[in-house]
């Protein structure tokens, strides 16, 4: 990957930071984006969309099974305390966000100018106010935490019961949420998994964010969870983790609710099996 200024991921340190004033580092038409990066944005329009890179970002890029944030950027003066832009204001509408596949550590905000906004106000060096869609952020956070709750419930119940058991990957998209596991999980386990999930949600377990070195994982007996070092930036030695206190710890770059009860009612939908693996799908109730 090319060397470039990395985008500071503000949401990694404060998931309740819904607005952020920052500086534009670059802006270009979507058609000028590298082919590899264009492939990340299936719904983007080469004729209408632009790509903005900022010094910091409050937008969570799609990844780790979590959808990207959406929202707006609007020009901001140094001491401007105005309200964030909304759907009817001139602004840059952020429609999709991904990590750059060419320039390591940069975040690509793809969107378009709406309601009379123009490129002239969004030049490199300009200040902008970022504002995410808070309702969607909260929904995605509920689904993401619920996925970890489900993963913890299945592990605690079945790790010693299922041959070759391991947690694999997960999708926390609201219309297709599921966790995948190595090993064949029989449908008979569904009621017990549901009961364990219910217990974890009801207990309002604290969900804490921390940053661990590889040695921290080893000391906690979680060497199996040490991420690949490619996830670290230059000079970094700590991985971001989410701890569901009393259940599990996961390396995770996503956003979460503060306690498990805030996931809301979490329902195990079905268990499917294929080629030695099992998928447990789930949903959460409307807030």
Give the pLDDT confidence of 230-251 residue by residue, as tens digits. 777 667 889 999 999 999 999 9
Mean pLDDT of 80-109: 84
The pLDDT confidence band at residue 81, using thresholds 50, 70 and 90, is low
Q: What CA–CA distance (Å, rounded) separates 268 from 191?
A: 9
- Evaluate if residue 63 carries a pLDDT over 70: yes
**Residue limits of CATH 3.30.980.10 in the chain:** 137-284
**Residue limits of CATH 2.40.30.130 in the chain:** 8-132
Q: What CA–CA distance (Å, rounded) separates 243 from 42?
A: 33
- Out of 79-88, 133-142, 233-242, which region has the weakest mean confidence (pLDDT)? 79-88
Q: What CA–CA distance (Å, rounded) separates 149 from 64?
A: 15
CATH of 137-284, one of 3.30.980.10, 3.20.20.150, 3.30.565.10, 3.40.50.300: 3.30.980.10
- Out of 144-158, 203-217, 231-245, which region has the weakest mean confidence (pLDDT)? 231-245
Structure pTM? 0.93
The pLDDT confidence band at residue 85, using thresholds 50, 70 and 90, is low
pLDDT at 235: 72
Task: Say whether domain 8-132 belongs to CATH 2.40.30.130.
Answer: yes
């Amino acid at each position: 990957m090319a060397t470039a200024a990395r985008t500071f991921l503000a949401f990694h340190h404060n998931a309740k930071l819904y607005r952020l004033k920052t500086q534009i580092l670059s802006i270009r038409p979507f058609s000028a984006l590298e082919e590899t990066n264009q492939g990340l944005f299936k719904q983007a329009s080469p004729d209408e969309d632009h790509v903005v890179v900022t010094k910091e970002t409050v937008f969570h890029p799609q990844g780790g099974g979590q959808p990207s944030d959406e929202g707006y950027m609007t020009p901001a003066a140094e001491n401007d305390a105005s309200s964030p832009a909304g759907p009817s204001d001139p602004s840059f509408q952020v429609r999709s966000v991904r990590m750059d596949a060419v320039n390591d550590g940069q975040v690509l905000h793809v969107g378009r100018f709406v309601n009379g906004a123009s490129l002239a106000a969004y030049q490199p060096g300009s200040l902008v106010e970022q504002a995410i869609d808070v309702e969607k952020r909260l929904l995605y956070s509920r689904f993401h935490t619920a996925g970890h709750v489900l993963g913890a419930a299945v592990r605690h119940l079945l790790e010693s019961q299922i041959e070759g058991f391991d947690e694999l990957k997960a999708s926390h998209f609201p219309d297709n949420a599921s966790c995948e596991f190595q090993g064949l999980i029989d449908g008979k386990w569904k009621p017990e998994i549901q009961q364990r999930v219910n217990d974890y949600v009801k207990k309002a377990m604290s969900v804490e964010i921390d940053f661990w070195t590889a040695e921290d994982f080893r000391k906690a007996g979680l060497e199996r969870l040490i991420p690949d070092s490619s996830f670290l930036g230059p000079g970094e030695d700590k991985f971001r983790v989410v701890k569901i206190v009393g259940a599990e710890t996961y390396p995770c770059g996503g956003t979460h609710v503060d306690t498990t009860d805030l996931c809301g009612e979490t329902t195990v939908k079905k268990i499917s099996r294929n080629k030695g693996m099992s998928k447990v799908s789930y949903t959460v109730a409307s807030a």
